[in-house]
Amino acid sequence: MKEYQIKLTDDVIGDISNIYNYIQRDSMYYAKKTKEEIVLRILNLSFMPFMGRKLVDFENNNILNLREIIYKSYRIIYGIQSKTIYVRRVLHSARLLSHNLVKI
């Protein structure tokens, strides 16, 4: 099975850092564990790119191939183009998605 290449946006790196910083105020252990689990799920996409469900939030718009996987209360939003996975955001599920949050 051919691996897909993974590319992260600057927003994703900031999102993961913000999640870590927020959780570490209460628990360094859970902050580290959450960060590791999110990164692991992103890395798993290189072998199983279609494991995430299609994003229905954007289905009727001209944004193609956006998918998401869920880890606890976080949405990992990504798109697939050729053999590349573009991870666009990691957001808390309580946050409403908009085209401004998921830049294409």
Any domain includes 98: no
Residue 93: pLDDT over 90:
no
Any domain includes 56: yes
| Band (82; pLDDT cuts 50, 70, 90) | confident
Q: Looking at per-residue confidence, does 21 or 54 come out higher?
A: 21
User: Two tokens at 54?
Assistant: 């299609």
pTM of the model: 0.85
Any domain includes 104: no
Any domain includes 49: yes
pLDDT of 2-24, one tens digit each?
799 999 999 999 999 999 999 99
In the chain, the number of structural domains is 1
